[in-house]
């Protein structure tokens, strides 16, 4: 089966370098320098598995491209590629529907590895399902809404990503640094305590008793596990 990646990057040398390395890794590519052209292609083709979107573009920005792709109903994997390093820019990308975030300057080896990981998750079905369920919970990947026993639980974007990560890895112990890489990105260099703080907040929302959690179990000295 052909594996196709869309690259949206207005700098010719960067775009060409990424294309060459993706082709070496076994991917077909389609490339654009303008956001409008990329959106038009996605609307008229359904053969893209993963899109790499630069944020700073001559016309519409990568966030708007991502928003329009998601608005068309596409569930392709999306990686944002940007020189911006502010935390708000990461959150903005996630809020518009991106699945991952790589900051410039970047290692092309790491970028290809991110594409590989996202493609594997797509083909394993985690992104193809509209809803992930576990016990009393259901997480809608399109609307990004969490329900517990039919009641909606309002989540922040980080809490949503934590919940998504747990439900996609039910029953598997996840190390704190693994959770950080998945939710905050590999270029995030904050303290691991941010994981503990946000999981504590998530427990307050989803657990029957946050002091005695039965869904998000602590693996002492290691990380956390979702008890399916």
Predicted pLDDT of residue 87 = 58
Determine the average pLDDT of the residues in 30-53: 94
Report the pLDDT value the prediction gives residue 191, as an integer from 0 to 100: 77
Per-residue pLDDT tens for 108-126?
A: 888 998 898 888 766 654 4
DSSP state of 27: -
Residues 41 and 78 in one domain: yes
d(CA 162, CA 151): 19
pLDDT 10s digits, 62-100: 999 998 998 887 878 889 887 765 556 666 666 677 878
Among 123, 143, 174, the domain-final residue is 123
Residue range 132-189, pLDDT digits in tens: 889 999 998 877 889 999 899 988 778 888 999 999 998 899 999 999 988 887 766 6
Do 55 and 154 reside in the same domain of the chain? no
The DSSP bridge pattern shows strands 151-153 and 216-219 to be unpaired
Q: Which residues lie closer than 8 Å to 71 by C-beta, 6 or more apart? A: none
Which token pair is 37? 């052209």
Q: Are 77 and 127 in contact (CB under 8 A)?
A: yes
CA-CA distance, 169 to 160, in Å (whole number)?
A: 14
Helix (H, G, I), strand (E, B) or coil at 112: helix
Place of tokens 């392709």: 76
DSSP for 151-193 reads EEE---HHHHHHHHHHHHTTT--EEHHHHHHHHH-TT----TH
Q: Which of 58, 91, 123 is the last residue of a domain?
A: 123
Condensed to tens digits (0 to 9), the pLDDT of residues 50-65 reads 999 999 999 999 999 9
Same structural domain for residues 9 and 115? yes
Q: How many domains does the chain have?
A: 2
Higher per-residue pLDDT: 190 or 138: 138
Give CA separation, 194 vs 31, 52, 66, 162, 190, in Å. 37, 27, 27, 12, 7
Report d(CA 222, CA 203) in Å as an integer: 18
Query: Does 116 share its domain with 212?
Result: no
Q: In the structure, what pLDDT confidence band is assigned to residue 210 with cuts at 50, 70 and 90? A: very high
Whether 117 and 149 share a structural domain: no
d(CA 145, CA 111): 29
Q: Which residue did the predictor score with more confidence, 32 or 189? A: 32
Percent above pLDDT 70 for the chain: 88
Same domain, 34 and 104: yes
Query: Which position has the token pair 């920005």?
Result: 61
Domain CATH number, residue 158: 1.10.10.10
Give pLDDT tens digits for 3-13.
899 999 999 99
Same domain membership, residue 10 and residue 119:
yes
Please say which residue of 123, 144, 161 terminates a domain: 123
Same domain, 118 and 146: no
Instruction: Please tell me whether residues 63 and 143 are part of one structural domain.
Output: no
Q: What is the CATH number of the domain that holds 114?
A: 3.40.50.2300
104 plus 152 within the same structural domain: no
Q: What confidence score (pLDDT) does residue 91 get? A: 65
So what's the pLDDT on residue 86? 58
Has residue 106 got a pLDDT over 60? yes
Domain that holds residue 25: 4-123
Q: pLDDT confidence of 209, banded at 50, 70, 90?
A: very high
């Amino acid at each position: 089966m052909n594996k196709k990646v869309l690259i949206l990057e207005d700098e010719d040398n960067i775009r060409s370098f990424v294309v060459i390395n993706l082709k070496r890794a076994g991917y077909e590519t389609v490339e654009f320098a303008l956001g409008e052209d990329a959106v038009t292609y996605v609307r008229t083709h359904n053969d893209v598995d993963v899109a790499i979107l630069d944020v700073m573009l001559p016309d519409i920005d990568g966030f708007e491209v991502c928003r329009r792709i998601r608005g068309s109903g596409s569930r392709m994997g999306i990686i944002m590629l940007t020189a911006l390093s502010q935390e708000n820019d990461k959150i903005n990308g996630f809020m518009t529907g991106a699945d991952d975030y790589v900051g410039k300057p970047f290692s092309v080896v790491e970028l290809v590895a991110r594409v590989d990981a996202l493609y594997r998750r797509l083909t394993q079905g985690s992104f193809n399902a509209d809803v992930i369920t576990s016990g009393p919970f259901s997480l809608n990947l399109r609307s990004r809404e969490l329900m517990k026993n039919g009641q909606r639980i309002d989540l922040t974007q980080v809490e949503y990503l934590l919940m998504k990560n747990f439900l996609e890895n039910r029953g598997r112990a996840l190390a704190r640094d693994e959770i950080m890489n998945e939710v905050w990105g590999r270029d995030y260099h904050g303290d691991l305590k941010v994981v503990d703080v946000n999981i504590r907040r998530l427990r307050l929302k989803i657990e029957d008793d946050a002091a005695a959690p039965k869904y998000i179990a602590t693996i002492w000295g290691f990380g956390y596990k979702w008890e399916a």
